[in-house]
Amino acid sequence: MTEVVTTAGATITAATTLITAAAITTAPSAARRRKEVVIRDPKETNTPSIIIHSEPKSKDKGKGILDDMIDQVQRKKKEENVVMRYQALKRKPQTESQARKNMMIYLRNMAGFKMDYFKGMSYDDIRLIFEKKKNSNVAFLENTREHMEEKDSKALKRASESQAEKEAKKQKLDEEVEELKRHL
């Protein structure tokens, strides 16, 4: 069943204000299926203009908030369990084989050793090599940091000295200009 409503241009007078209504034609049959509103104006165009409602009204009325809170609490419990397990593993001392493996991986990644190099070596032998390489890396990093700080301080001194020198040169030039003006 299709209803067509057409108004031709009615004039409504209320407190000396004129309001004219435009002709509106609606076709609800297609709109019911697609949940769209179709408005037609026969004077302006023959093609229908479609208004699509992007968000339908929710019948939830806040019930989803409770579900979100429950999900968040459950996720937090899982995260707490993972953190507790991690902290327990961290408190547990490393075995000698785990420490040996970690040192071998460090030496492979940082010093370029091959894993075959360590075959047949004891923990103590690997530890000596590890400490030597680690100490040299730490010393290099500290030296680099000190060197960078030293460079920065020199650059700042140069900048401040150059500013002072510029001021002194300006002052001398001003004095010379004044002296030349006096002689002329």
pLDDT surpasses 90 at 132: yes
- Sorted by sequence, the CB contacts under 8 Å of residue 133 that are 6+ apart come out as 106, 107, 110, 111
- Residue 10 token pair: 């009615």
* Angle, helices 96-106/123-183, rounded to nearest 10 degrees: 40
Number of CB atoms found within 10 A of residue 24's CB = 13
SS3 3: coil
Cα distances (Å, whole numbers) of residue 118 to 33, 104, 151: 74, 7, 40
Query: Which two structure tokens, joined as six digits, stand for 25?
Result: 């034609």
The DSSP line for 152-167 is HHHHHHHHHHHHHHHH
Tens of pLDDT, residue by residue over 22-76, are 555 555 555 455 566 666 666 655 555 566 666 666 565 666 777 788 888 888 8
Confidence of residue 10 (pLDDT cuts 50, 70, 90): low
Q: Is the pTM of this model over 0.85?
A: no
Binned at pLDDT 50, 70 and 90, residue 14 comes out as: very low
Which string of DSSP letters, residue by residue, matches 53-87? -SSPPPS-TTHHHHHHHHHHHHHHHHHHHHHHHHH
